[in-house]
Structure 1
C-alpha cells in the first residue's frame, strides 16, 4: 500500500490537524494498534516531491547537469523546469535530457514555458519523453475581464494541443489573478470557463496568500483543478506587502501542513518546492534544507 492510500485511511482516524514532525512519531511500536499503529506505519507525507529549478537558476545557468545531479542527491524525485534561455531541455535534445533523468532516477514532470509560441513542437517533444505538463507561468495583469475571457479561450486551445501529444496544459497563478477586476476575480473566471478535460492549474500558494486569499479555501472550492502546487513560504520578518518575501519552507508564516493536507484531499498530485529570496543563504543549501523539511513531515 503506498503512502497516498495510507493517507486516506489516516485522515479518517486522525481528523484535521494531524500533521506531526517526524520526531514526535513512534515508529517502533509494532505491537500498537489503532491510531499509533497508523502513524507509525508512515514515513512521510509524500512518496515524491519536486523542486522548481528556478529556485537555483544561477546554478542552472552555470552548470545544469551538475545542478540537477545535486537536486537528486538532496532527495528530490521530481523536477519542474523553466526556460532559462537554452530551452526547457537546457541545450540538450529532449531524449538526451530524458536519459539524464533516467540515470538519476528523477522524473521531469513539467516545465514552465512560453506556451504561446511553437507549442505544437514543444508539446510533441515533451510528450515523447513522458512529461506530464507544460505550464504557462505568466500572462501579466490584464486591463479588463474581456482580456481574461480571451485567455480562457486560448488556454482551452493550448490544452487541446497538449492533449494531442499525450500531456496536459496548466496555468500557474500570480497574485494579480486574485485581485478584483471589473467586479470579478479573474482566477475564478479562468477556472470556471476552461474545460477541466483540457486545462489544469498549478497553485502558487505564496501568491494566493500574499494576494489576501486563503489557499485552502481555493483548493476546496475547485477540487481536482489544482493538480500541481508550489510550496513556497512567506517570511514573517518582512512587511506583508513585500512581493519578494519568500523564505526557507517552515521558517515563514504559512501553514503548509494544513495546505498540503487540503491539497491531498482535493486532487493535488504534485508538490513542488520553490524559493526566490534567500537572505544570505546559498540557493543550493536552501534547496537542500527545503528537501529535508519536505521529508520530515508525517501525518
Structure 2
C-alpha cells in the first residue's frame, strides 16, 4: 500500500469492503495553541467491549444494543472466548452493528496467531484497525527492538489487506530497561506508514508520564486512544471518566490536534457500580463534554 492510499484510509475512514466510518472531532475556534481551551467535542465516540467483559458473554446482542441506546456510535471488540465477532460471522456481526447504528472501528486480538485470517475478516467488513493489546514486560531492550521489526511485518500484512495495525500500551513500556524506554524504541523503530499506536491514557498516567507530551512528541502516531480515568491514591483504579484525576477536556483536544481519530471509552473497575451503569455514565460524560 503506498503512502497516498494509507493517508486516504486514515483520513477518510474509507476501507476496502466497507463503508465510510467517521471519527470523533473537535470544533476549534482557531488553529493556535490557545484554541486548546476553546473547543467542543462532537459525536461519535466509542467503547471497548472489554468494559462489559463480566456480562457480555451472557447476551452479546443485548449488551451491545444497550450501548447504542446510551449514545455510543462505535465499538472496539476484543478476542474473548466467543471470538472477535461474539459468536457471529464477520458479516453477521457487521449487519447486527449496522442495525444498531454502530460501527466497529477496531478490535484487540492475538496478532501472533492466524493474523492474516483475522485481517482479511476485518477488511471484508471495513474495520479500520486490528490492535495488539499486550506483549508484556520483556527480558531485555533487544526484545523490544525485535518486536518493532515484527510489528513492521504485521503492519505490512494489514496494510496490504486494506486495514491498519496498531499497538496498545500499558505502563511497562514506559519503564526504563537497559538504559532505554521501550515505548520510544518501538515508536522510533516502526514505520509510521505501517504501524500506528493506541494510547491507553490511564496507563501512561500510571507510569508517571504526561500523555499530552507524548501526543506532541509523536504527532500523528497515536491514532486511537482509550479514554479511561485514573482514581489516584495508594490503590489506583480505573473509574468513570470525569470522576478521576485526569483533566480530560484539554487533553482530548491536544490528542485530536496531534492526530487521534478514535476516542474509545474503557473502564476496568466497578466500585459501587455495574458495567452497564459505568458504560452509561461514561457515555453521558462524553456527550456533554465541552472544552
Q: TM-score, normalization: structure 1?
A: 0.87
1:245 to 234, 237, 245: 237
2:37 to 6, 13, 17: 17
Deviations 1:196-242 (A, max 9, x none): 11100000000000101000000000000000010000113x31xx3
Rg bigger for which structure?
Answer: 1
Cα distance 1:99–1:55, how it changes in 2: closer, same or farther (>3 A)?
Answer: same
CA distance in 1, matches of 2:33, 2:159: 38
Alpha-carbon RMSD across the aligned residues, in angstroms, is: 1.8
CA distance in 2, matches of 1:129, 1:104: 16
Contact 1:203 1:226 in 2 (8 A): yes
Q: Does 1:109 align with 2:112?
A: no
Q: Secondary structure at the match of 2:139?
A: coil
1:292 to 284, 287, 290: 284
Q: What does residue 212 of structure 1 align with? A: 208
Q: Does 1:182 align with 2:182?
A: no
Q: Does 1:282 align with 2:278?
A: no
CA distance in 2, matches of 1:151, 1:13: 35
Q: What does residue 264 of structure 1 align with? A: 256
Contact 1:79 1:109 in 2 (8 A): yes
Contact 1:88 1:111 in 2 (8 A): yes
Contact 1:3 1:45 in 2 (8 A): no
Aligned length in residues: 270
Structure 1 residue 85 displacement after superposition = 0.8
Q: Does 1:234 align with 2:254?
A: no
Q: What does residue 161 of structure 2 align with? A: 165
Cα distance 1:96–1:11, how it changes in 2: closer, same or farther (>3 A)?
Answer: same
Structure 1 residue 15 displacement after superposition = 3.0
CA distance in 2, matches of 1:203, 1:224: 12
CA distance in 1, matches of 2:30, 2:69: 30
CA distance in 1, matches of 2:171, 2:34: 33
1:82 to 78, 81, 106: 78
User: Which blocks of at least 5 consecutive residues in structure 1 are unaligned?
Assistant: 20-43
Q: What does residue 128 of structure 1 align with? A: 124
Cα distance 1:179–1:4, how it changes in 2: closer, same or farther (>3 A)?
Answer: closer
Q: What does residue 40 of structure 1 align with? A: none
Deviations 1:61-119 (A, max 9, x none): 11111010000000000000101111100110000000001111111010000000000
Structure 1 residue 5 displacement after superposition = 7.5
CA distance in 2, matches of 1:207, 1:4: 21
Contact 2:23 2:261 in 1 (8 A): no
Residues 66-81 of structure 1: matches in 2 within 5 Å?
66-81=62-77
Q: Secondary structure at the match of 1:45?
A: strand
CA distance in 1, matches of 2:31, 2:290: 12
Q: Secondary structure at the match of 2:42?
A: coil
CA distance in 2, matches of 1:118, 1:8: 42
